Structure 1
C-alpha cells in the first residue's frame, strides 16, 4: 500500500444490480431525445477495440459494450460514458495496454487528466474489470468521475480508485479480492469536494475503503466485510493531512483477514475502523462488529498517530452512536496521542483506555 504515492448472497445482491439492456444493431448512432445535443453512441462488440471507439468519440458520447469479453488497458482523457451490459461485460488483460502510455500499466480503465486540467464528467458503469496486474478502474486528475455497478475483482492493487480528484461518485459497486491495496480508494487531494462512496460492497481486500491524505469525503451504507481492515483514514505526513470525512451507517464487520507488512505499511488484520492520524472526522451510526485480531492495530474502532515521518496525532474526531460489539482485543481504542477525540453514546463493552464506552 503506497501511502506516499499516488458470500454467495452478496454476489447475488450486487450482480442483480448490473442489469443488461437491449443491444444495438449499428456501430454508431445519433442520440437525440430530450437532450438534442447530437451526442453519439458507439457500439463495440466483443473482441473489438474499446480504445478505438474512445479515440473516435467526441466529448459527451457514449461507448456501449455488449455482453462478452474485451481487452482492457483503456485510456480515457475526455468526457465520455462507457456503459456495459452488466456483469457479463468483462474487461481483462490482453492486447495493447494503452494505460502504459500514462505510466499506469496493468489497469483495466484509466481516466487521466493533468494538474490543473482534470478530465471532467467521465462515467463508467455496468461492467466487470478483472485480473489486472495493478488496478481495476483508476482515476487521476479527474472531476466528477462516476463509477456505478462495476465489479472490480482479482486485481493486483486497487479495485476502484481516484487520486488527485474531486467530486467523484462510487456507487453500488463491488470490489472483490483486490490484492495489496484497497477495494475503494480516495486520496492525494487537499479537498475532494464531497466525493461520495455509497452502496458498495468491499470484501477480500487489504482495506475495504481507504481515505488517505484527503478531506471532505462522504461514505455511507457500504458493506465493508471480510478485509484485513474495513475502513482506514490515514494521515501520511503530507501537507494538509487527512480529515473532514464522514463515515456513517456502514456495516464494518468481520474484517479478520491477515495482511503481511507491505512497503512502509505494518502488518494489518482484525480491524474495523482504523485511524492513522486524521482530524475532524465523524464516525457515526455504523455497525462495527466481530473484527478480531492480535496485532497492535486490531479492534473495533482504533485511533493511532499518523504514519512517519511526522506521526501527527489523530485529533478532534467524533465517534458517535456506533454499535461496536464483539471486537478484539477491544471495541474502542484511543492511542491517538491527543485528548481531543470524543467518544459519545456508542454501544460497546470494552475499551482501551477504560471508560470510552
Structure 2
C-alpha cells in the first residue's frame, strides 16, 4: 500500500490539512506556459505575484513589459529567443502593455515607479537579441535577479538598470552590444549625485565584444566580481562626475580583464577607447583587488591595465585602493595614476612591470 493510500485512509479533511501543511489557495503559485507562436506578454499580463511564466524554446518576436512583483520570466536556455516584432499581433491589452518598451527599442522591460519599485522579479535563461536599444532594461526595481540571460547584438546596452536597488546579475552573457554589456546607473538622463544600490552584485558574467564590458555610473555600494571581460574597447568603467555624492564605495574584485583592445571612437564626453582594462574616473573609495588584468593595449588617454583618471569634467578620483592585482602586457603601462599624490590613491601588493608614474608596481 502506498503512502498516499495510507494517508487517504487515516485522514479526514481537516486532519490532512494539518498533517500535510496544505497552503491556503491565495498562496498557490502558478506556471504559465508559453509555446512558440503564443504571446509572452499575454502570459505575463495574466500572471499574479509569485507566478512563473515559462517560455519554451523558439523565436518570439515581441517586447515584454513586466510590472508584477514576484514574477519569474524564465526561458529554457539559449534556444528561447526574443527578437523585435515584425508587426503587432498582440491583443489590445497586451499591445498597450508593450508599447513603451517596444517603442523605446527594448526587449524586456521591468518597470516600477519612483514611489513604488517593482520587487523580486527574476529574468532567466533566455536570449534577447537585435533590439535597437537594450536587451533587458530595468527601471525602478528592488531585488531584481537576472541570470542565465544572453544579451547579444543590441544597439545600445545588453542589460541595463536605473533607479534600482539590490540587484543581482549572475551568469549572463553580454556580447557585441553597441555600448556597455552591463550598464548600471542612478539615472540614465538626470544629472544628480550617486545613489546607494544597497548591495547590487555583478558576478560570473561573460562580457565580450561590447564598447565597454561593465559601466557603473554615479552609483555607490556594489560589487563587480569574478567576471570574464574580454574583447571590448574597455573592460570596466567606474564613472563619476561633478554631482555629489561621488561614485564610490565599489569593489571590483577577482575579474579576468583580458585584451580589451577593440577601437571605439570618441563621444561628446569621452575620448576614443582602446586598450583600457579597469578605469576609475571621478570615483572615490573604490577597491580594485585580486583581478587578472593582461594584454590591454592602446593609445587612448584611458589606455592601460588599471587607470585612475580625472574625469573630463574635472572631477578628481580620491582615496581609491588598487591592491594585489596581477597585471602584465598592458600599454602604455600596467598601472596608470593620472591624479596627484594629494588625492590619496594607493597602490599596494600588485604584480606588474611598468607603471605611470614609475614606482607603483
TM above 0.5:
yes
Q: Are 2:174 and 2:181, in contact at CA under 8 Å, matched by a contact in 1?
A: yes
Q: Are 2:271 and 2:300, in contact at CA under 8 Å, matched by a contact in 1?
A: no
Residue in 2 that maps onto 1:329 = 332
Q: Are 1:66 and 1:84, in contact at CA under 8 Å, matched by a contact in 2?
A: yes
Distance 1:148 1:47, change over 3 A: same
In the TM superposition, 1:247-266 aligns within 5 A as: 247-266=252-271
- Cα deviations across residues 300-327 of structure 1 (Å, max 9, x unaligned)? 001111242xx21100000000001110
Counterpart selection for 1:313 from 307, 311, 316 = 316
Counterpart selection for 2:43 from 21, 32, 53 = 53
- Cα deviations across residues 242-268 of structure 1 (Å, max 9, x unaligned)? 000001110011000010113422211
Counterpart selection for 2:355 from 334, 351, 356 = 351
Residue in 2 that maps onto 1:9 = none
Q: RMSD over aligned Cα, in angstroms?
A: 1.8
Distance 1:209 1:51, change over 3 A: same
Residues 1:90 and 2:81 aligned together:
yes
Q: Are 2:317 and 2:343, in contact at CA under 8 Å, matched by a contact in 1?
A: no
Range moving further from structure 2, 335-344 or 254-263: 335-344
Deviation at 1:272, TM superposition (A): 0.2
CA–CA distance in structure 2, aligned partners of residues 224 and 33 of structure 1: 47
CA–CA distance in structure 2, aligned partners of residues 151 and 229 of structure 1: 20
Q: Are 1:99 and 1:107, in contact at CA under 8 Å, matched by a contact in 2?
A: no
Q: Secondary structure at the match of 2:244?
A: coil
Distance 1:88 1:341, change over 3 A: same
What 5-or-longer segments of structure 2 have no aligned partner? 1-19, 89-94, 187-193
Residue in 1 that maps onto 2:3 = none
Residue in 2 that maps onto 1:183 = 181
What 5-or-longer segments of structure 1 have no aligned partner? 1-31
Large movers: runs of 4+ above 3 Å: 32-36, 95-100
Deviation at 1:99, TM superposition (A): 4.9
Deviation at 1:336, TM superposition (A): 2.6
Residue in 2 that maps onto 1:72 = 62
TM norm structure 2: 0.86
Aligned length: 323
Deviation at 1:34, TM superposition (A): 8.8
CA–CA distance in structure 1, aligned partners of residues 338 and 55 of structure 2: 49
In the TM superposition, 1:4-19 aligns within 5 A as: none
Residue in 2 that maps onto 1:26 = none
Range moving further from structure 2, 145-154 or 36-45: 36-45
Residue in 2 that maps onto 1:342 = 346
Deviation at 1:211, TM superposition (A): 0.5
Q: Are 2:198 and 2:221, in contact at CA under 8 Å, matched by a contact in 1?
A: yes
TM norm structure 1: 0.87
CA–CA distance in structure 1, aligned partners of residues 22 and 276 of structure 2: 49
Range moving further from structure 2, 343-352 or 95-104: 95-104
Deviation at 1:225, TM superposition (A): 0.7
CA–CA distance in structure 2, aligned partners of residues 178 and 271 of structure 1: 17
Residue in 2 that maps onto 1:236 = 241
Deviation at 1:230, TM superposition (A): 0.4
Residues 1:63 and 2:53 aligned together:
yes
